[in-house]
Amino acid sequence: MYNSLQGLIISGIFALMLLALVFSGTSIPFISEYWNATIILLVLGLFMCTFGAMGYILAKSTFSPITLVGSFLGVLALVIGALSFFNKTIPFLHGERQAFIAIAVIILLKVILARIQLYVIK
């Protein structure tokens, strides 16, 4: 079974450190505003998606419901990130902070779905 758990854990630790820095209000160069942190979180999310066995899952079960939900959530995270980056209004999300939190929750859901899917694939 394909498993890059170490890469997933390292990327997850970086994402958790980013969340802790942003929510603590610590001012660090390049992470002074929410949209900077949102871009970094999206890049970390892409790394976590890759390390979470995305290629293996897509090769083995392309049209599984869990794979389709994970793909939809990934596109949703990218759309929220792009709209937040360009200061467009996002329905149900008011401000960059809520968009940042929504992306973090979506990435967490995608990691959980990927780990579940690895045990479902035969």
Q: Are 77 and 43 in contact (CB under 8 A)?
A: no
Q: For the chain, what percentages of helix, strand and coil (3-state, to nearest 5) are there?
A: 75, 0, 25
Q: What is the pLDDT of residue 122?
A: 61
Query: Would you list the domain boundaries of the chain?
Result: 5-120
Burial 42-80 (b: 16+ CB within 10 A, else e): bebbbbbbebbbbebbeebbeeeeebeebeebbeebeeb
Q: What is the pLDDT of residue 46?
A: 86
Q: Are 113 and 66 in contact (CB under 8 A)?
A: yes
Q: What is the pLDDT of residue 106?
A: 95
pLDDT tens digits for the chain (122 residues)?
A: 455 778 778 888 999 999 998 888 887 887 878 888 899 999 988 888 877 667 677 777 778 888 888 889 999 999 999 998 888 888 888 888 899 999 999 999 988 888 888 787 76
Which DSSP helix (H) or strand (E) runs through 43? Answer: helix 34-51
Q: Which of 30, 6, 20, 15 is nearest to 77 (CA)?
A: 15
Q: Which of 75, 3, 84 is nearest to 45 (CA)?
A: 75
Q: How far apart are CA 8 and CA 29, in angstroms?
A: 25
Q: What is the pLDDT of residue 52?
A: 67
